[in-house]
Each structure stands twice: as structure tokens, then as C-alpha cells.
């Protein structure tokens, strides 16, 4: 693949051309020249877009595509197309399909479905067999097949001894264990944050305590085992404090936060819109503020869309019975830019790769072209027309966003919306 990108502002702190507006010549999938006023040498495809900015390719550490088993929600093919249109060149795929991805063969299958695509798919294997939380899955075999981490998506491990053994066993091959932060015996049947709004609306509450107890437990287990832990999608101020203290003790822990937990509070629930039924639940403004501060000071290592397509039959029903989840790939960039500068937004969208054993790149001559193209300044209201996903369950519908993506260049392929 050969291309010439014209008049692009580079946003990449690792680049020698950071904040400069230049032309970028790509030949055979590699950046061959960066300079002002490059002449198109061999009539290559020319990319010349309004207010074009270019960064390293973005990464999402938690996406769900449904396939195999839930293709009515999303397929791997369309999911990767959605990711590309949304600016992501790499995604880590959760194991919450049917069957659950918990074996060598399952990892091989999803990787084969993603071959020859601009977006690189990195499978996360289930931590326990069928994600039931009873017996460890084939962690080492899945590592050999290409799994980058192990996680029973949104299924907490209730047995602390099982989590202890998982951390000890995975440390033999540098495996990354993920633990969903919820103590289910505390959360019970709660469907929203336990607070004033849950009482007003008559909905069962899921208290912040349920998350914080699990986080504290897992950090104690991590200290004991000296393992390697990732805590996905934290949502409370106290969780940030606990992880900050753990990092001060030099424990090998990282964490992420879902973008919707930064933007929305449980105040949006008054209309019982099930697009806002997410797990962990939307919390309070002080929690949002603490999460944002955690991103700024590095306590929280990465953001995720926690993209989870759910078919309409499981969303357009009574709130108590609706499934948890919102899609988030298409709205990620525009939502983050309502909270952070473009420089910080790009930093957040490119963090976390090394934790999931994904190679990092920079925008310099000689490097492989792994690029996201975007306009950071356009503003718009997010609507159904902005959704590429097969399922349309977005918490961001009707929300004012800032910044749009043009597409990506990755794996020797150009994808433009």
C-alpha cells in the first residue's frame, strides 16, 4: 500500500514532527518520508482532508463483538469495520461469546475471523472455564494461541483462592489476569448505583462498596502472589484511592475506566432509558471527578469504550430485565474531547498497548504506518446516523460531541469513512 498524506498535523509526543503540519509519504506500508511539500512520486493515492490531524493508531482494551453465537448483536467483520471507522487500529476482544472463548481452538477461531483486516484483533481468553468462576481455563494453551490476557467479562471471581491461584499460575508465563471489580454478594440484585436516585426511581441499588471490597481484596491477593493484575472499568472515587495506594507500593497493577463512566452520572436515569444500564453502573459526580483526576495523574492507566452491542430485544424492555451494556467505539473520540485537550485525548486513546503485549509505534521515518486520521475541532450531536455497529444501544445518542474521525491506515490497508 502506497499513499501520500497531505498537510497533516502530527499529534504524537514520540515523533520528531510532533505538532508540525507536514506531508507523510507511505510506501509499502511504511513511512518513507515526512516533510513539507512532498511531491507525489508515482501517482500514489493522495489523502487531503479538512483540518487533518494524524496520530498513532488508537487501542481499545475492552470490546465485545458477539460472534460466535450472538451474531445478531455484532459480527467480528462489522465490529472491526466499526473500530476502523472510529479510529482504532487495535482492539482487545472479550471472551463473552457463545460459546465462551476459553480454549486454544476458540482463540484460533476468532483470530482467523480477523485476518487480512486493517484493525488488529487481540483475543482475551476467559479466566475460568465457561466464565463460571469455578475452574481455571486453559490459560497457557490460550497464551500459545495468541491470547493477550484472561478475563471473565463482567463476571466477578467470588472465590478468593481461585483468584490467588490464577495470579500465581499466570505469573509463570507473564500472563495478565483481569478481575471484574464487583462483590456480587454485596451488589445483589442491584441494577443502578445505590444512592438518592435509586431510591427516587424505585430501582434496586448496587453500592460503591461492592466494587471497593473486590478491588481491595484483589490488591491484597496481588501483593501476596506478586502476580500481574488488571482491573477493568473501575467506577468509584474510593477505587481510585485504593489503586493509587497500591501503585505507591509498587504492585504490578493497572486499571481502566469506561468512557461513559466519565461522562454520565446516575442523574440521567430519570427516564429509565436502558441505554444507560451499564456495569459497573453510572455513579455520582464526585466519582466522575475522581476518575478524571485519576486519568490526569496516571493512577488510571487507560480508557476503554467497553463497547458491548446488545440487540433491541434485550434493551427495549423493562429496566430491571434489560441487559447491561452500551456501544462506545463510534463516540469515544468525540466524548473524550469534551473533557480533555486533544493532546490528552490522543494520549489516553494510545495508552495500554504494552500492558496487553501489543507493540507500540511512532510517527517517524522508517516506522510501520499505524495511523489514525481525525479532525479534532468539528462539533455535532451524536445520532443514529453516526453508528456503524449492528446494534444501536448507545448511551451517547443525543449528546454533543467534539471531533470526528476520518479513518485509519494500518496493516498495509487504508480505511476512510
Catalytic positions are 306
Q: Using only the alpha carbons of the chain, give its radius of gyration.
A: 21
Say if residues 10 and 369 touch (Cβ distance below 8 Å): no
Which residues have CB under 8 Å from 384's CB, separation 6+?
392, 397
Q: Which three cell numbers stand for residue 126?
A: 476467559
Q: CA-to-CA distance for 208 and 378, rounded, in angstroms?
A: 36
Structural element, H or E, at residue 318: none
What is the bridge-based pairing of β-strands 3-11 and 45-47? parallel
Q: Which of 387, 291, 389, 372 is nearest to 72 (CA)?
A: 389
Q: CA-to-CA distance for 195 and 288, rounded, in angstroms?
A: 15
**Torsion angle of C-alpha atoms 17, 2, 368, 150, degrees rounded to 10:** 120
Say if residues 75 and 83 touch (Cβ distance below 8 Å): no
What is the bridge-based pairing of β-strands 205-206 and 149-150? unpaired
Q: How many residues does the chain have?
A: 417
Q: CA-to-CA distance for 403 and 337, rounded, in angstroms?
A: 7
Please state the φ and ψ torsions of residue 178, each to the nearest 5 degrees: -110, 140
Q: CA-to-CA distance for 27 and 8, rounded, in angstroms?
A: 17
Alpha carbon of 103 to those of 107, 126, 136: distances in Å? 6, 8, 11
Which residues have CB under 8 Å from 173's CB, separation 6+?
139, 140, 143
Concatenated DSSP letters of 356-413: GT-----SSTTSB--EEEEEEEEEEE--GGG--SSS--BTTTT-EEEEEEEEEEETTE
Q: CA-to-CA distance for 85 and 407, rounded, in angstroms?
A: 5
Q: Which of 363, 365, 207, 172 is nearest to 284 (CA)?
A: 207
Amino acid at each position: 500500500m502506497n499513499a501520500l498524506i497531505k498537510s497533516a498535523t502530527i499529534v504524537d509526543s514520540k515523533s520528531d514532527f510532533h505538532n508540525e503540519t507536514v506531508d507523510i509519504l507511505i510506501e509499502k506500508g511504511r513511512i518513507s518520508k515526512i516533510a513539507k511539500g512532498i511531491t507525489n512520486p508515482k501517482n500514489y493515492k493522495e489523502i487531503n482532508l479538512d483540518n487533518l490531524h494524524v496520530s498513532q493508531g488508537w487501542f481499545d482494551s475492552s470490546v465485545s463483538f458477539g460472534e460466535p453465537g450472538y451474531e445478531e448483536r455484532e459480527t467480528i467483520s462489522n465490529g472491526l469495520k466499526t473500530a476502523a471507522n472510529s479510529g482504532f487500529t487495535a482492539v482487545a476482544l472479550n471472551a463473552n461469546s457463545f460459546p465462551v472463548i476459553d480454549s486454544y481452538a476458540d482463540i484460533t477461531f476468532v483470530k482467523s475471523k480477523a485476518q487480512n483486516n486493517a484493525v488488529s484483533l487481540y483475543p482475551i481468553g476467559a479466566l475460568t472455564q465457561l466464565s463460571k468462576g469455578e475452574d481455571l481455563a486453559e490459560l497457557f494453551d490460550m497464551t500459545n494461541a495468541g491470547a493477550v490476557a484472561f478475563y471473565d467479562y463482567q463476571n466477578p471471581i467470588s472465590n478468593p483462592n481461585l483468584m490467588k491461584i490464577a495470579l500465581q499460575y499466570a505469573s509463570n508465563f507473564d500472563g495478565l489476569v483481569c478481575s471484574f471489580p464487583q462483590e456480587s454478594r454485596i451488589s445483589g440484585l442491584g441494577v443502578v448505583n445505590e444512592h438518592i436516585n435509586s431510591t427516587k426511581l424505585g430501582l434496586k441499588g448496587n453500592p460503591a462498596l461492592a466494587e471497593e471490597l473486590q478491588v481491595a481484596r484483589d490488591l491484597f491477593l496481588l501483593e501476596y502472589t506478586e502476580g500481574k493484575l488488571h482491573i477493568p472499568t473501575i467506577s468509584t472515587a474510593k477505587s481510585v484511592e485504593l489503586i493509587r495506594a497500591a501503585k505507591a507500593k509498587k504492585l504490578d497493577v493497572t486499571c481502566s475506566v469506561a468512557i461513559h463512566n466519565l461522562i454520565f452520572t446516575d442523574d440521567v436515569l430519570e427516564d429509565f432509558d436502558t441505554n444507560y444500564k451499564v456495569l459497573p453502573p453510572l455513579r455520582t459526580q464526585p466519582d466522575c471527578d475522581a476518575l478524571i483526576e485519576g486519568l490526569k495523574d496516571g493512577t488510571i492507566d487507560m480508557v476503554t469504550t467497553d463497547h458491548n452491542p446488545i440487540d433491541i430485544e434485550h434493551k427495549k424492555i423493562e429496566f430491571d430485565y434489560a441487559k447491561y451494556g452500551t456501544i462506545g467505539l463510534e463516540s469515544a473520540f468525540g466524548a473524550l474531547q469534551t473533557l480533555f485537550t486533544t493532546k490528552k485525548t490522543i494520549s489516553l486513546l494510545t495508552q495500554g498497548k504494552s500492558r496487553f503485549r501489543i507493540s507500540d509505534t511512532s510517527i517517524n521515518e522508517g516506522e510501520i504506518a499505524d495511523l489514525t486520521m481525525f479532525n479534532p475541532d468539528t462539533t455535532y450531536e451524536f445520532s443514529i446516523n453516526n453508528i456503524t455497529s449492528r446494534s444501536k444501544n448507545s448511551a451517547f445518542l443525543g449528546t454533543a460531541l467534539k471531533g470526528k474521525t476520518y479513518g485509519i491506515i494500518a496493516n498495509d490497508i487504508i480505511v476512510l469513512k
